[in-house]
Structure 1
Amino acid sequence: MKTLTLLRHAKSSWNDPVAADFDRPLNKRGRRAARTIGREMKNRELRFDRVIASPAVRVIETLDDVTEGYGSPLHPQYDRRIYLASPAALLDLIHEIDDETERLLLVGHNPGLEQLALLLADGGELRDEVAVKYPTATVAEIRIPVQHWRQVRKGMGNIVRFIRPRDLDPTLGPDEDTH
């Protein structure tokens, strides 16, 4: 059994004068949401053998704040392929993961993460929630009954957790931002 956890970056600032989307930082609410999600990940005893993340500024800052809330380092490995990746590109990356890794955390962007969760999930109530909206700083945990990451295919998984910041602190939602 493999466990894939997807974390969408926290809410970023559209008001910051950066030249490129890649360089957009988090806003204050995003930073607070990331710390809140980190604490919840610790409370639920989520563990990861490997963390792979987009190197975009908003993802790096999200992981910094998640780590603060989580209370221990996550040791992310940054991979440019995750930046605004399609679900097919993310699945290609998953297929490359070594089989010693049982619990993988991918940190990135929408719409790729949401579409990947919908692609992998075989149905269920939490899949329906993902289909409605995958807000910023949200975690989806998917269990996939395979021995090898290269075996992961459409419809094989089961979403067992879908943790939104607004469910933990109502002042962190609703998230109207689609970025």
Structure 2
Amino acid sequence: MSVAEPRRIVLFRHAKADWPQVPDHERPLAERGRMDAPAAGRKLADTGLTFDLALCSTAVRTRETWKLAVQELPHRPKTVYEERIYEASPGELIAVLNELSDEVRNVILIGHNPGVHGLADILAGSAEGDALVRMNRRGFPAAGFALLSYDGLWKGVEPGVATLTDYWAPSE
């Protein structure tokens, strides 16, 4: 597979979660999250990307977000539930990406803030249009996603190597 064809990385923050009296890892989606997750899925479908792999945190709210969003995609990618994504720092998320097989072209990572927003900021050495301004102005709200383009092998993912090509978040 040629590295001349860019890889795509989508960093997708889970939808709005509820705050019941349960451990943080077990928090479910709130009603708004159950509405925003499919909307994010439709926007992901609009990108025209086919994802080879979805990496999803094991937290209840990320699993629920992905279950609702993926139904809107024309192709359901292989999904791996990765506990290292829960509460991960940007550096820990880079380590997860570095382990991907180079057969994977496009990946979506469903995770949490501040790690997801931090990773989008760190990876984006450049941006198209006003994507970076919009992402940082909004603060990467729940159900938002950043789309990055990267030329290289997964083991080479590091700060500044990608281009932020799009950013989307549900209206507040």
Using structure 1 for the length normalisation, give the TM-score.
Answer: 0.87
Asked whether 1:128 is paired with 2:133, we answer yes
Q: Is the 8 A contact 1:8 1:107 kept in 2?
A: yes
* Backbone CA RMSD of aligned residues: 1.3
Query: Which sections of structure 2, spanning at least 5 residues, go unmatched?
Result: 1-5
Structure 2 counterpart of 1:99: 102
Aligned partners of 1:142, 1:62: CA distance in 2, in Å? 20
1:71 CA drift (Å):
5.3
The answer (yes or no) to whether the contact 2:10–2:107 under 8 Å persists in 1 is yes
- Which structure has greater helix proportion? 1
Q: 1:39 matched to which residue of 2?
A: 42
The answer as to whether partners of 1:10 and 1:33 remain within 8 angstroms in 2 is yes
CA contact (8 A) 1:117 1:130 kept: no
The answer to whether the 8 A contact 1:40-1:70 is kept is: no
Deviation at 1:7, TM superposition (A): 0.5
Q: Distance in 2 between matches of 1:72 and 1:157?
A: 25
The structure with more strand, counted as a fraction of residues = 2
- Give how far 1:43 is off: 2.7
| Structure 1 letter corresponding to 2:9 | L
Q: Identity rate of aligned residues, in percent?
A: 33
Q: Secondary structure of the residue that 1:136 maps to in structure 2?
A: coil
Secondary structure in structure 2 of the residue aligned to 1:98: coil
After superposition, what is the alpha-carbon deviation per residue over 1:70-103, rounded to whole angstroms, capped at 9, x for unaligned? 3553432001000010000000111100101110
Alignment correspondent of 2:8: 3
| 1:75-90 map, 5 Å | 75-90=78-93
**Unpaired segments of 5 or more residues in structure 1?**
167-172, 174-179
The aligned length equals: 164
**Residue of structure 2 in register with 1:27 after alignment:** 30
Q: Which runs of 4+ in 1 moved over 6 A?
A: none
The structural deviation recorded for 1:40 is 1.8
Query: What is the match of residue 160 of structure 1?
Result: 165
Offset from partner CA, 1:100-128 (integer Å, 9 cap, x none): 11101111000000000000101333122
One-letter amino acid matched to 1:6: L
SS at match of 1:104: strand
User: Among residues 144, 151, 156, which one is paired with 1:145 in the alignment?
Assistant: 151
Distance (whole Å) between structure 2 residues aligned to residue 42 and residue 81 of structure 1: 26
CA contact (8 A) 1:7 1:106 kept: yes
Amino acid corresponding to residue 147 of structure 2 in structure 1: E
